[in-house]
């Protein structure tokens, strides 16, 4: 099979779905690898590195799409790219089918198969393909780095000849992959870290990383095992308890990192304007839910804003792309594992096995047809 990665065309996107290392691994599976000229440059991989790894470098996006059997991408295709697809071809990328129904219909109409990396089931066997977790891990780490870039003080406390410097106080809301990465990074920098999550079972993870878990005096809680590890909407009563807790924290903390997302819904508003007003001037809010509307009232996607009382609110939506080399290495590995599952005999022959729960769960259209009801449940 011929596998190719075009250059990402979304504004500001610096990641690439094929690295020289992942290409070497794909070739061991019997595949030929192709890449559009310049596709890896923003991520730190030049065309010469690909050629040294045995990758065919092709000029032009259309020529690349025409040359390969399977296209691997980071972002969902544009309208033009979707029309490049042909019958029998396969696209593997982030796709977000629920938010891109028209795009899905276009790909289906082209007779192509689409595997959405955002639909990989969160089960143990699929962890090596879990691109959402790979990118969330990077976003959580980068959120702390971005907070430090905007915060005017040390993270760690210091005692110097010029006086004592207190450690920064960091609150992380949401202890999924991104939240845990943020907690680990902030504690390693010496901050005093507190964290909140609606799932009490994550308290042990949080405390094992040296952070304080904020418990609510409330009977309602969520079992992450029942929601695939994701948070679910809370009752109005529970939400009020949450907000009461956050209001108590607002005057004391220096940095807030919010990560709360609910699949298929806008991001819940958890850090309200009155909480921003209660924070000290120079405090920082990093909203990792900005792309879905943000957890903070003042968040503006892709912007850095300063409130009337001097609180900095960062709503960047491209944290993984801001670490494009690392992100590309991890994402390309996720893609490589997916293709390995599609190549069971390691002979370059792809078997799109819809009986396989991982492949079935990630497939949003196969050879121009909708998956069966069983596939939709995957």
Give whole-number Cα distances, 129 to 27, 84, 134, 288, in Å: 18, 26, 9, 22
Q: What pLDDT was estimated at residue 219?
A: 64
Annotated active-site residue 234? The verdict is: no
78, 127, 158, 377: the active-site residue = 127
52, 66, 99, 122: the active-site residue = 122
- Name the maximum alpha-carbon separation found in the chain: 71
**Antiparallel, parallel or unpaired: β 32-36 and 56-58:** parallel
221, 230, 239, 357: the active-site residue = 230
Q: Which domains does the chain have, with CATH numbers?
A: 2-130+324-376 (3.40.50.720), 139-322 (3.40.50.720)
Per-residue pLDDT of the chain (378 residues; tens, 9 = 90+): 999 999 999 999 999 999 999 999 999 999 999 999 999 999 999 999 999 999 999 999 999 999 999 999 999 999 999 999 999 999 999 999 988 999 999 999 999 999 999 999 989 999 999 999 999 999 999 999 999 999 999 999 988 888 898 999 999 999 999 999 999 999 999 999 999 999 889 999 999 999 999 998 766 555 544 444 455 667 888 999 999 999 999 999 999 999 998 877 889 999 999 999 999 999 999 999 999 999 999 999 999 999 999 999 999 999 999 999 999 999 999 999 999 999 998 888 889 999 999 999 999 999 988 885 444 443
CA distance 201 to 225: 10
Q: What pLDDT was estimated at residue 92?
A: 98
Annotated active-site residue 225? The verdict is: no
Closest Cα partner for 263 from 302, 233, 300? 233
Tell me the percentage of the chain whose pLDDT exceeds 70: 94
25, 133, 234, 326: the active-site residue = 133
Q: What pLDDT was estimated at residue 194?
A: 98
Q: What pLDDT was estimated at residue 299?
A: 98
32, 130, 254, 318: the active-site residue = 130
Annotated active-site residue 122? The verdict is: yes
Whole-model pTM above 0.85?
yes
Residues 120-137: pLDDT tens digits?
A: 998 999 999 999 999 999
CA distance 29 to 24: 9
Q: What pLDDT was estimated at residue 236?
A: 87
Q: What pLDDT was estimated at residue 263?
A: 77
Residues 134-167: pLDDT tens digits?
A: 999 999 999 999 999 999 999 999 888 888 989 9
Asked whether the beta carbons of 194 and 170 are under 8 A apart, the reply is yes
Closest Cα partner for 8 from 69, 56, 77? 77
Q: What pLDDT was estimated at residue 224?
A: 45
């Amino acid at each position: 099979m011929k596998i190719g990665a075009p250059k990402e065309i979304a504004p500001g996107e610096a990641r690439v779905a094929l690295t020289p290392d992942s290409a070497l691994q794909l070739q061991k599976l019997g595949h030929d690898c192709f890449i559009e000229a310049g596709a890896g440059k923003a991520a730190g991989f030049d065309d010469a590195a690909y050629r040294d790894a045995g990758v065919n470098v092709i000029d032009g996006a259309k020529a690349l799409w025409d040359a390969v059997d399977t296209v691997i991408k980071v972002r969902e295709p544009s309208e033009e790219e979707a029309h490049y697809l042909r019958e029998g071809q396969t696209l593997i990328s982030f796709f977000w089918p629920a938010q891109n129904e028209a795009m899905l219909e276009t790909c289906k109409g082209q007779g192509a198969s689409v595997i959405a990396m955002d639909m990989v089931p969160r089960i143990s066997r699929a962890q090596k393909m879990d691109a959402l977790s790979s990118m969330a891990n990077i976003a959580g780490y980068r959120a702390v780095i971005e907070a430090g870039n905007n915060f005017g003080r040390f993270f760690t406390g210091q005692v110097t000849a010029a006086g004592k410097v207190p450690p920064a106080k960091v609150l992380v809301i949401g202890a999924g992959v991104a939240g845990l990465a943020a907690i680990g990074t902030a504690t390693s920098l010496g901050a005093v870290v507190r964290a909140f999550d609606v799932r009490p079972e994550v308290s042990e993870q949080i405390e094992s990383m040296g952070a304080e878990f904020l418990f609510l005096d409330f009977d309602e809680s969520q079992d992450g095992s029942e929601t695939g590890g994701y948070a679910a909407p809370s009752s109005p009563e529970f939400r009020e308890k949450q907000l009461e807790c956050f209001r108590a924290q607002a005057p004391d903390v220096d940095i807030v990192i919010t990560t709360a997302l609910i699949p298929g819904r806008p991001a819940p508003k958890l850090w309200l304007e009155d909480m921003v007003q209660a924070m000290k001037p120079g405090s920082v809010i990093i909203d990792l839910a900005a792309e879905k509307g943000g957890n903070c009232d003042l968040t503006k996607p892709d912007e850095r804003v300063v409130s009337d009382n001097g609180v900095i609110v960062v709503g960047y939506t491209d944290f993984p792309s801001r670490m494009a080399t690392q992100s590309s290495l991890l994402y390309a590995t996720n893609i490589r594992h997916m293709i390995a599952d599609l190549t069971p005999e390691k002979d370059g022959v792809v078997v799109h096995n819809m009986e396989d729960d991982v492949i079935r769960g990630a497939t949003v259209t196969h050879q121009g047809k909708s998956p069966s009801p069983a596939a939709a449940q995957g």
